Amino acid sequence: MDATSHITLASLAQQVLVGLSRTTILFIVSSGLSLILGVLRIPNLSHGSLYMIGAFVTYSAAVFIGGSTGFWLALIIAPAVVALLSLAVERGLLRFLYDREHLMLLLFTFALTLVFGDLVKLIWGSDYRSLTAPPLLQGSFDLAGLPFPRYNLFLLLLGPLVALGLWLLTNKTKIGKLAKAAAVDREMVAAMGINVSWVFAAVFCIGCFLAGLGGALVAPTQNITQGMDHTIIMEAFLIVIIGGLGNMWGALLGALIFGLTDAIGILVWPQFAIVFPYVAVVVVLVFRPKGLLQSTW
């Protein structure tokens, strides 16, 4: 635990900011997962695969188009591709299973995970890819004597925007209100003459769009590899659970807890940094087994 003595206020602040920008990505991914859990009651394990596909598509689109424009366009193209893919899966397969028990739905999305994982291997091969951010977001600026990456600042600014967008979507649009009503009582919404099936399709699509967006945003910050789906999905699930199933603000809170404990863990005890967020999750769940905020279940 030698490292502890080297912690300064500046390095702590820097690490917290890095943690916060990672929180943004975790929030975007897990809010999508939470939305699907809350409305459709599906524990979607393939969410992580869609995130991975988002990252790979971002890479390919950015490289194909080229330049700064390539990156910015890829940020839109990748989530859209993921959303279309999810729509096809939902309409083609998933919607026939809505009356099954949770365990079957979970296993079905696990099957999707297996298929998507190998499809990525089939299309992009087993090598990892890396993508550089456009010049505007490259490099870092000075933060009390320590460098802070510009891309992280970009993520920090984007997080609240996505949260606001999601809030507007769920509270101010017709589809959002319908989804909320359907989450509470499917029969009632159906009785109002509304096609619940399509509400579900739309919600599933939006949730997966967020997974794709998360993947697109993470692409320049790390190697894009096979297996990134397994890590993110477990993290996203834990975030959703500690926040409260189906609660968007819960996803934000959970992502903050997860991102910050991870960042502080890296600073305090790098070897076991991975353990910190898990411990935080266990502590939260032991005291509040149903999550911190009100679940929509």
Partner 1 sequence: MLENIKNHRGLWVVAGLALLLAFWPSLVPRFYVYLVSLMLVTGLLATSLNLVLGFGGLYQFHHAVFYGVGAYGAALMIKWSGLSPWWGLLVGPLAAALLSLVIGIICVRLSQLYYGMLQISLGSLVWAIVFRWYSFTGGDDGIHGIAVPGAIASVSGAYWFTLAVTAACLLVMYLVINSPFGRVLMATRDNSERAEMIGVHLIGHQLIALVIAGFFGGVAGVLFVVVEGSVFPDMMFWTLSLEILVMCLLGGWFTFMGPMLGAAMMVGLRTVVGIYTEYWTLVLGVILMLLIFFLPQGVLGFIGAKRTPAMAHSRRED
63, 121, 135, 160: which one binds partner 1 (CB under 8 A): 121
129 contacts: CB under 8 Å, gap ≥ 6:
56, 59, 223, 224, 225
Amino acid occupying residue 242? I
Closer to partner 1 by Cβ: residue 9 or 103: 103
Closer to partner 1 by Cβ: residue 35 or 61: 35
Closer to partner 1 by Cβ: residue 64 or 96: 96
Q: Which helix (H) or strand (E) holds 212?
A: helix 196-218
Residue among 89, 95, 64, 92 nearest 78 (CA):
64
Give CA–CA dist 149/136, Å, rounded.
11
Whether residue 35 contacts residue 206, with contact meaning beta carbons closer than 8 Å, is answered with: yes
69, 88, 118, 168: which one binds partner 1 (CB under 8 A): 118
* 143 makes contact with partner 1 (CB under 8 A): no
Taking the complex as a whole, the smallest distance from the CB of residue 226 to partner 1 amounts, in Å, to 11
The DSSP-derived string for 257-287 is: HHHHHHHHHHHH-GGGTTHHHHHHHHHHHHH
Q: Which helix (H) or strand (E) holds 147?
A: strand 146-149
Q: Which helix (H) or strand (E) holds 143?
A: strand 140-143
Whether residue 213 contacts residue 83, with contact meaning beta carbons closer than 8 Å, is answered with: no
Phi, psi of 7 (to 5 degrees): -75, 125
Q: What share of the chain is helix, strand, coil (3-state, %, to 5)?
A: 80, 5, 20
* 241 makes contact with partner 1 (CB under 8 A): yes
Closer to partner 1 by Cβ: residue 101 or 187: 101
* 288 makes contact with partner 1 (CB under 8 A): no
73, 80, 230, 249: which one binds partner 1 (CB under 8 A): 230
Taking the complex as a whole, the smallest distance from the CB of residue 93 to partner 1 amounts, in Å, to 7
SS3 of 99, please?
coil
Query: Of 53-61, 79-87, 109-117, 173-181, which part binds partner 1 (CB under 8 A)?
Result: 109-117
104, 123, 157, 184: which one binds partner 1 (CB under 8 A): 104
Give CA–CA dist 216/38, Å, rounded.
24
* 111 makes contact with partner 1 (CB under 8 A): yes
Closer to partner 1 by Cβ: residue 97 or 194: 97
Closer to partner 1 by Cβ: residue 217 or 242: 242
* 107 makes contact with partner 1 (CB under 8 A): yes
* 282 makes contact with partner 1 (CB under 8 A): yes
Binding pattern for the stretch 178-217 against partner 1, x by CB under 8 A and - elsewhere: ----------------------------------------
* 93 makes contact with partner 1 (CB under 8 A): yes
Number of residues that bind partner 1 (CB under 8 A): 41
Phi, psi of 147 (to 5 degrees): -75, 140
Q: What is the CA radius of gyration of the chain?
A: 19
Which spans of this chain sit near partner 1 (rule: CB under 8 A)?
43, 45, 93, 96-97, 100, 102-104, 106-108, 110-115, 117-119, 121-122, 230, 234, 237-238, 241, 245, 271-272, 274-275, 278-279, 281-282, 285-286, 289-290
